[in-house]
A and B are shown apart, each in its own frame.
Chain A
Amino acid sequence: MSRSDRPSLDEQLARLALEVTPRTDLWPRIARRIGTRPARWIPLALAASLGGISIAAALTWMLWQERSELRPHERRTPDLTQSAAGRESAFDEPRDPRYQRTRAALEKTFAERVARLDPGARRAIAANLEQIRAARADLRRELAAHPENPVLQHLLESSWHDEFDLYDDVVTGTQPTLARN
């Protein structure tokens, strides 16, 4: 076909579809971000883990799995005097070595990626992380007084999801790849 027989640039541009469906359903994450889980919510972390989408999702899945396996009397007692550095041994986080290894790898990648960002972005991320951790500290205090309260337990678990989502957002948002197939 000669140059002059080909559709013009305008014709080719006009044929492009303006609508491109995301590869994954973004609604569960949106719903969680805006404060309510959607009616047909399936555990996002489980779904993402099955799809091999992210390390953060795998972490949340492990967390979720361990929490559902623990019977109430097996749950570790929170240490309210624990520092941020010692939070890994908190009752609400698994001691499973796979989990600890995966988390350490994610935190390492997160730290490397954050270091590349400009100071304003770093401050915003640090503020978000601090907010999540402060909320978790409050929840732990409340749980110490009401250890069987399911709402508090659920919120505490959600705080871990939020932290992993933040890591995931930074790591995926700074991927150095141009991924259009």
Chain B
Amino acid sequence: MGSLQRQSIAEPSACDEEPVSLIGAAVAGDLVAFEALYRRFAPRIHGLCLRLTGQRESAEDCTQETFVAAWRALARFEQRSRFSTWLQRIAIRTVLARRRGLRVVRELSEPAGGLPETADAASEAPPLDLERAILRLPEGARHVLVLVALYGYSHAQAAEMLGLAEGTCKAQLHRARALLSAALDLEDP
């Protein structure tokens, strides 16, 4: 299994300081403070929603729902966890609830077939082919890859959020990595 562990929202870097005063003001009902929190965290939440849903429209809807739900639940935010971690959990729940409730029609293609040629791997820019390959992963494998390999959740945390056994979560990550390696013509992970 891969050794990748990213800096995650749950494990913030030193420069990612908690905006305590903004959070306090928002909890007290200050909408301007909440807007500032939205401006700060929306790209991260939208990135998570986009990679989980694979659809821009759904990702934007889920981002919107996340912040609406967060505003309504702010009074219950006890600051035992980081605000960004709390938001991220709401976003994941929103995406999963949407998937269960609306059953959005997806056009997930077969894993490796039909993917474009590999990206210019020497480029410093984010590899677009990898993005596309991730979006084409089967949903279960994509969710685990996004949560564990990109956002730094442990297998136990991801399994709990996705309603999976931890072993299934590990198997899905292994599957995702194998499919990505095949799609990008990389050596086996």
Which residues of A approach B to under 8 Å, CB–CB? Answer: 1, 3-10, 12-24, 26-27, 29-31, 33-34, 36, 38-39, 116-118, 120-121, 124, 169, 172-180
Is B2 at the interface (CB under 8 A from chain A)?
yes
Q: Decide if B2 touches A10 in the complex (CB within 8 Å).
A: yes
The 8 Å CB contact of A180, one of B42, B105, B131, B189, is: B131
Name which of B54-62, B75-83, B162-170 contacts chain A: B54-62
The 8 Å CB contact of A9, one of B47, B108, B132, B177, is: B177
Q: Known contacts A16-B130, A24-B60, A177-B55; is A1 also within 8 Å of B44 by CB?
A: no
Q: Decide if B56 touches A117 in the complex (CB within 8 Å).
A: no
Is B31 at the interface (CB under 8 A from chain A)?
yes
16 A–B contacts, CB within 8 A, in A order: A4-B187, A8-B186, A9-B181, A10-B2, A14-B4, A15-B126, A15-B127, A16-B127, A22-B59, A30-B68, A30-B71, A34-B71, A173-B57, A176-B107, A179-B55, A180-B55
Which residues of B approach A to under 8 Å, CB–CB? Answer: 2-4, 6, 31-32, 35, 38-39, 42-44, 46-48, 50, 54-61, 63-64, 67-68, 71-72, 98, 101-108, 118, 121-122, 126-127, 130-132, 135, 149-151, 177, 180-181, 184-187, 189
Q: Decide if B126 touches A178 in the complex (CB within 8 Å).
A: no
Q: Decide if B46 touches A174 in the complex (CB within 8 Å).
A: no
Which residues from B are CB-within-8-Å of A29? 64
Complex Cα gap A132–B180 (Å): 46
Complex Cα gap A33–B64 (Å): 9
Q: Decide if B42 touches A22 in the complex (CB within 8 Å).
A: yes
Complex Cα gap A1–B107 (Å): 32
Q: Decide if B102 touches A6 in the complex (CB within 8 Å).
A: no
Which residues from A are CB-within-8-Å of B98? 173
Considering only CB atoms, which chain B residue lies closest to A175 in the complex? B57
Considering the complex of A and B, which 8 residue pairs feature the smallest CB-CB distances, nearest first?
A19-B43, A20-B47, A176-B105, A6-B121, A10-B4, A178-B107, A34-B71, A33-B68
